[in-house]
């Protein structure tokens, strides 16, 4: 376990078949994948999910637990992923993000998990955290506002596509 919030436990994803199945269930859905990455693409095989667990685990270990993409556990169900990592090409500009299964949308889990990640980052000495969201992703833009993040406008600085940028300072 990395941290807990009032309703959630945030932990590493594991190679357990239930975790891999849930990752595949989340990232194989176009309604989730359409908002992710420079060239959005839904997962097409369970093997992709297993490889993703391995990459996320290696990244978590490499960063000595400071960064990663972690499972958001809501009681007995995994709601999705919260990520906390350096933005592409940066060492000091850290991004918080969230990817939830549609069956977990609308419960405040993204805001709660992201707030915990930001607080964890500030406690480790960070002074600012960023979020980037595709224009039109009104749900994630609303999460940024609920987190008290300041809109910075649109930028293609980090991912090579135009995204709405937000920042929160400690």
In the prediction, which pLDDT does 62 show? 94
Tens of pLDDT along 37-89?
889 999 999 999 999 999 999 999 999 999 999 999 998 899 999 999 999 98
| pLDDT for the residue 158 | 93
Q: Quote the pTM value.
A: 0.95
Residue 17: predicted pLDDT: 97
Percent of residues, the chain, with pLDDT higher than 90: 94
pLDDT at 89: 87
Range of the domain at 20: 3-169
Residue 141: the pLDDT is: 98
CATH number, residue 133 = 3.40.630.30
Residue-wise pLDDT for 10-43, tens only, equals: 999 999 999 999 999 999 999 999 999 889 999 9
Report the domain count for the chain: 1
* Through-space distance between the first and last CA atoms of the chain, rounded to whole angstroms: 24
Residue 1 has pLDDT above 90, yes or no: no
Is 118 in contact with 88 (CB distance < 8 Å)?
no
- Please, are residues 132 and 163 in contact by the beta-carbon 8 Å criterion? yes
Residue 104 in contact with residue 97, Cβ under 8 Å?
A: no
SS (H, E, C) the chain: CCEECCCEEEEECCCCHHHHHHHHHHHCCHHHHCCCCCCCCCCCCHHHHHHHHHHHHHHHHHCCCCCEEEEEEECCEEEEEEEEEECCCCCCCEEEEEEECHHHCCCCHHHHHHHHHHHHHHHCCCCEEEEEECCCCHHHHHHHHHCCCEEEEEECCCCCCCEEEEEEEC
């Amino acid at each position: 376990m990395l941290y807990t919030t009032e309703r959630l436990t945030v932990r590493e994803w594991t190679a357990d078949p239930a975790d891999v199945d849930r990752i595949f269930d989340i990232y194989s859905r176009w309604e989730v994948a359409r908002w992710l990455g420079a060239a959005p693409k839904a997962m097409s095989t369970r093997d992709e999910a297993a490889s993703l667990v391995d990459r996320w685990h290696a990244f978590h270990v490499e960063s000595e637990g400071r960064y990663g993409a972690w499972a958001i556990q809501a009681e007995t169900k995994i709601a999705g992923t919260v990520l906390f990592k350096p933005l592409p090409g940066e060492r000091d500009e850290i991004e918080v993000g969230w990817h939830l299964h549609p069956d977990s949308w609308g419960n405040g889990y993204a805001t709660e998990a992201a707030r915990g990640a930001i607080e964890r980052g500030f406690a480790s000495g960070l002074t600012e955290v960023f979020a980037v969201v595709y224009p039109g992703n009104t749900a994630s833009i609303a999460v940024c506002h609920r987190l008290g993040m300041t809109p910075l406008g649109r930028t293609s600085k980090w991912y090579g596509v135009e995204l709405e940028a937000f920042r929160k300072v400690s």
